[in-house]
Structure 1
Amino acid sequence: MSNVTLRIGGRDYTMACAEGEEAHVAELGRMIDDKVQSMGSAAQSEARQLLFAALLLADELHEARARLACAPSSASQADLLESIAARLETCAAALEA
């Protein structure tokens, strides 16, 4: 186990993580701190700031997953490209005739 100190909302938090994961955990901490900083203090408690930051990040994750679920798979993209190519070949053949 290893320890990483994260600075979030002006406070330091020491977190344990697996060996080799220090940079990743530090980057996650920076993401949380960015959210906390973007919200401003607005006289909110530390716990409330962290809760709102977590909710904003969870919302971003939810939206990203929804976009990924709606994105066509590479197999359907290949089928779509194949269909377009076939139509173009049909159009080219009609123009040549």
Structure 2
Amino acid sequence: MATVTVEINGRPYAVGCADGQEERVRILGKQFDTSVRQVAGDVGHVGDIRLFLMAALMLADELHEARLALQNGTPAAAPAPAAAPGGDGVAEALNAVAARIEKIAQGL
């Protein structure tokens, strides 16, 4: 088993992976870092766990939309911004994710 260090929001994290998968883990780490930094830019620093959770929810939502689009043969919608400018960023970001989840649920 190999170990790769990925940097997420300026902090290093050691991640175990199968031998030969190191570069893939680095690429995925960079993609996740981009999402976390986007959330942090939109809502401010609210702690790593909340930033990671919000970024993970955004990515899970995008994945779900892409899977639905593949099943339906339609193009996937563009991801919603993590938060609208102004106001309480955390609440707005969570409301945006909740609205997208409700939209998805209505389409099922």
Same structural fold, with TM-score higher than 0.5 when normalized by the shorter chain: yes
Equivalent-residue separation in structure 2 for 1:24 and 1:60 (angstroms): 20
Question: Aligned to 2:72, which of 64, 70, 75?
Answer: 70
Question: What's the secondary structure of 1:54's corresponding residue?
Answer: helix
The equivalent residue for 1:37 is 37
Equivalent-residue separation in structure 2 for 1:43 and 1:27 (angstroms): 24
The equivalent residue for 2:84 is none
| 1:17 partnered with 2:37 | no
Identity over aligned residues, as a percent? 43
Q: TM-score, normalised by structure 2?
A: 0.63
Q: Partner amino acid for 2:22?
A: E
Equivalent-residue separation in structure 2 for 1:24 and 1:37 (angstroms): 20
Q: Which runs of 5+ in 1 are unaligned?
A: 73-97
The structure number with the bigger radius of gyration is: 1
- Cα displacement string for residues 38-89 of structure 1 (whole angstroms, at most 9, x for unaligned residues): 11251301100000110011011000000000018xxxxxxxxxxxxxxxxx
Equivalent-residue separation in structure 2 for 1:16 and 1:57 (angstroms): 21
Q: Which runs of 5+ in 2 are unaligned?
A: 75-108
Q: TM-score, normalised by structure 1?
A: 0.70
Which structure has greater helix proportion?
A: 1
Q: Partner amino acid for 1:40?
A: A
Between 1 and 2, higher relative CO (CA 8 Å, sep ≥ 6) is seen in 2
The equivalent residue for 2:100 is none
Question: What's the secondary structure of 1:4's corresponding residue?
Answer: strand
Query: Contact (CA 8 Å) 2:45, 2:51: kept in 1 or not?
Result: no
Give the number of equivalent residue pairs.
72
